[in-house]
Structure 1
Amino acid sequence: MSISQTFSSIFIILYLTIGVAISQYDYDCRWRKNVTDISEIAHHKYQILEDCIYYKLSSDANKMQGRGNSIMTLPPTVQAGEHLELDILNVGFRQIWMNELWKTMAISGYINFSWKDRRFKWDKSDFVTDEINIKSSSRIWIPDITTDKSVYSAQNSDFTFFKNIKARNTGNITTRMEYKVEADCNTDYSDFPDDKKQCCFNFRSSIYPTYIKYYLYNDHIDLNELRSNWHVQQSHIHINSDLNDPKKQYINICMNVKRRAPILRVELVLPMVISGLITILAPFFGKLEIQLYVKLFALLLHLMSFQFLSEKTPQLGFGETVPNLYVFYVFTFAITFVSIFLTLITTALNRVPRHLPPSHGLTLWANLCNSLLFCSAESVSSNDTEKGTKDYTGNWCQIYIALNNCFSIIVLIVYIVGIVILSF
């Protein structure tokens, strides 16, 4: 037997085998006639039944619209002037995270859609079931809903895809569109690190902008599946018309979010508060020199705290906004500098020798003030000078210390009032 005859025999055998297999395959699922309840069908048989329904509906649609694969490529309506009513059942957020460099908010979530497709109608009594699952979005015509950046920008990371597509025998199609978008945000850094952002993004059809009409069933956005350190304070969804062409509609989603960073706020505020308290409580440490060293140490803590704050600042800064936290830092710096300046003046005056005694009333006031307020009075020296002149420097020292204590009280009051004002 020649090689050509051998190949011919093999080809004939394969052709007959495939032909027999095809002839035995039940495209119409005739076995369904023996089934009275859907629960009697095994799982793999139910998938076969879904395919049978789909291919029958696809064949009928091809005959009706005069084109192959029309159920995949052509919209449901056939009359001129008809519109597709696209129902928005509900909207939800799943994840929210911030790109601090580009100041864009990445948002992932879902939208449940529903619409009517007259091609997906069948008799339940004939096919047992009243609902089928469409295994792929490529097997059915789906509205081309996408984001603005996908339409108008060549480079973007937005995407949308459809899942859980179901068709009922009434012609009703339901699906869930998963999306991931990068929304541009207006940022309010006044309460940094708990800054606030207002973000908006749009969905629209690029191929059928005037054909699709949106209907909103529920304007509430579901946040039950949201996992983020951003708290959604307010959100809404609207159906808007294009300003240039009112016939074109789009879906507008906006939200106001606030960062939840209580631990970071404590890390940024607590060191500055402690160093500020050290500054205003320095008179309790005794002598003027010791108070000065304590305040200089507090100033060092201020600088270290500010360095830590600068590391947490966004790379491109805050724009024209000055956060309240920065105002608090500057205010604490100012209070510390004023306190150090007053203590330096008091220390300098204390070094000047005094040969005339202060008035008796001033001395009594200084002693009373020092004993009641801070108990930081120093012992009075009564040593004579080499010329026999009485030295009253120690008496004046008590007065200077009393003045320093009074200034410290004023600084304390100003600091407390300033913190209260900044807090509100």
Structure 2
Amino acid sequence: MLALCCCWIILGIVVGKVAASIPMIAANADECDSLKNSSKGFLEMTTHQRERLENCVFTFLTDEEMKFNRDPNSFHTDPPPEAKLTIQVDDVAIRHVQLTSGSTYQFQIYGDIYLTWEDTRLKWDSSEWKVENFYIHDSHKIWSPHLIDHSICTDPSTCSSELTDVEIVSEGRAYARLAFRYSAYCNVDYSRFPEDQNHCCIYFTAFEADRDVAFALETDHSKKVNRPVAAQNLYDRVRGLSTLADEHSAWVVDEHTVDITHLAGISSLEVLKVCVHAEKKMSTIRMALKIPVTIATLIMLVSPLFGDLRTQVYIKLFILALQTICFIYLCSIAPPNGFAGMRPKLYTYYELIFVMSAISLLMTLVCVALSRVKRTIAPTHRFYLAAKLVNRVVCCIEPDQATSYQRYLEDADNQRTSNEPDATMEWRHVYLAVNNTVSGAFFSMYLIIILIYFF
């Protein structure tokens, strides 16, 4: 008996609520008809009336969907009835780029993707309802594409996306903005060290069961930008607003690209690839690494203009010390983890400089050593004249007879006969000419290397 009484009480409550909701539904329907048949245009209505009319349109669309599908949640859970869904990418905007915490080259990208898709369930007669388009404040009320990023980030505080500004149009089209914040896959090119280049990409896919999803790109493939990469987070809960200061890194984003590709091995699954290209702007360090060592090497290669062989040896040893100091500084600013198997052009440039300097120094030392040897047989006359021509006309120098590099190899001068011929000075002309010719050849080669490397 008690159970029967409880059942009657519950039934009375349910019937009462249903009876109370019927007048409310009827009142809403009357209000929608009144707004739809009003003589005022949509822009002439008050803000409250426009909001009510938009709700009426959405209620009408929901009721139309319920006629074909009894599931009340199908309007926002099921995709459009079309067999192939095309998601149109109208624009991609990069708002902010910053370094990932603890990394010197991994980027975190903040941006917006503006999307458009067709949904025949969203069609209505704009002349009847006086509304051509309106925003849906809750994006979960209708179906929207779920763009998934394939990054390895699992921290929701640093990696997230949100679909906002959803607008539907009477032709059955929807517009939305996807605001994302993800860590990108980065590939650094160290060939132009210290001005490295970084290429970072984010990959988005939109997968729906029993549907073929395709992307249509309606924006420029690439856009030029000039945006410095921040070196810290936009906001830190511990430090508060003090972290909003503009603390940028050496990286500068100069271009961002958008492309449609496919995952490896899955030709039917399209991927929206959003990439940024950044470069380290370190012109001061670049000039500090190039200009001093270049000028020093040029001075070393024109050392024949400074004087005899001994002076040239001192100059080349001093220049070699300067080159070594520059190379040590270059190594001190290299990445601690190396260059990922790459050889920067600047290192190749230094290797060529050291090879040319070593050969030039060894050549001068050999010529100095040969000049100590007493020669009794003179070189051929043409050879001697050619050597004097190189020394006097080209290098404006000739061996000084008063210069003695060392004693002759003979231990005692009294062992030589007074009438013994001495051709040492003629051979010094030859040795000096050979040294000057090698220096001139290296100087010409180095000028070509400079033109290729700098330009």
Give the TM-score taking structure 2 as reference length: 0.68
Q: Is residue 381 from structure 1 mapped to residue 402 from structure 2 by the alignment?
A: yes
Aligned twin of 2:231: none
Unaligned runs of 5+ residues in structure 2 are 1-19, 229-251
Q: Is residue 406 from structure 1 mapped to residue 437 from structure 2 by the alignment?
A: yes
Kept after mapping to 2: 8 A contact 1:241/1:249: yes
Unaligned runs of 5+ residues in structure 1 are 1-18
Structure 2 Cα separation of the partners of residues 226 and 139 of structure 1: 38
The amino acid of 2:142's aligned partner reads I
1:208-260 superposed Cα distances (whole Å, 9 cap, x missing partner): 2443522425374252667464555976323x47846x7x6232427695747
Q: Secondary structure at the match of 2:43?
A: helix
Aligned twin of 2:137: 135
Match of 1:303 among 312, 320, 324: 324
Deviation of residue 90 (structure 1)?
Answer: 3.0
1:170-227 superposed Cα distances (whole Å, 9 cap, x missing partner): 3311112233444435555444456566665432235x24435224253742526674
Structure 2 Cα separation of the partners of residues 211 and 366 of structure 1: 85
Match of 1:337 among 358, 362, 367: 358
Structure 2 Cα separation of the partners of residues 242 and 406 of structure 1: 59
Structure 1 Cα separation of the partners of residues 325 and 359 of structure 2: 19
Aligned twin of 2:41: 37
Q: Secondary structure at the match of 2:311?
A: helix
Q: Secondary structure at the match of 2:151?
A: helix
Match of 2:296 among 254, 275, 278: 275
Kept after mapping to 2: 8 A contact 1:377/1:398: yes
Change in CA separation of 1:408 and 1:65 when aligned onto 2, cut-off 3 Å: same
Kept after mapping to 1: 8 A contact 2:90/2:116: no
Change in CA separation of 1:36 and 1:235 when aligned onto 2, cut-off 3 Å: closer
Structure 2 Cα separation of the partners of residues 394 and 45 of structure 1: 111
Match of 1:75 among 78, 93, 97: 78
Match of 1:347 among 368, 379, 395: 368
Aligned twin of 2:205: 204
Aligned twin of 1:161: 162
Change in CA separation of 1:255 and 1:202 when aligned onto 2, cut-off 3 Å: closer
The amino acid of 1:237's aligned partner reads I
Kept after mapping to 2: 8 A contact 1:191/1:324: yes
Change in CA separation of 1:34 and 1:90 when aligned onto 2, cut-off 3 Å: closer
Deviation of residue 162 (structure 1)?
Answer: 1.9
Counting only pairs closer than 5 Å after superposition, residues 24-423 of structure 1 correspond to structure 2 as: 28=31, 30=34, 33-34=37-38, 36-42=40-46, 46-47=50-51, 49-54=53-58, 57-58=61-62, 65-67=69-71, 71=75, 73-77=76-80, 83=83, 85-94=85-94, 104=106, 106-149=108-151, 154=154, 158-185=159-186, 188-193=189-194, 201-205=202-206, 208-218=208-218, 220-223=220-223, 227=227, 229-232=252-255, 236-238=259-261, 240=262, 243=265, 249-253=269-273, 257=277, 259=279, 261=281, 263=283, 265-350=286-371, 352=372, 354=374, 356=376, 358-359=378-379, 361=381, 364-381=385-402, 396-419=427-450
Deviation of residue 343 (structure 1)?
Answer: 1.9
Change in CA separation of 1:67 and 1:338 when aligned onto 2, cut-off 3 Å: same
Q: Secondary structure at the match of 1:39?
A: coil
Give the TM-score taking structure 1 as reference length: 0.72
Kept after mapping to 2: 8 A contact 1:130/1:168: yes
Kept after mapping to 1: 8 A contact 2:222/2:256: no
Change in CA separation of 1:88 and 1:158 when aligned onto 2, cut-off 3 Å: farther
Structure 1 Cα separation of the partners of residues 270 and 210 of structure 2: 10
Kept after mapping to 1: 8 A contact 2:302/2:440: no
Kept after mapping to 2: 8 A contact 1:131/1:166: yes
Question: What is the root-mean-square deviation of aligned Cα atoms in Å?
Answer: 4.4
Q: Secondary structure at the match of 1:223?
A: strand
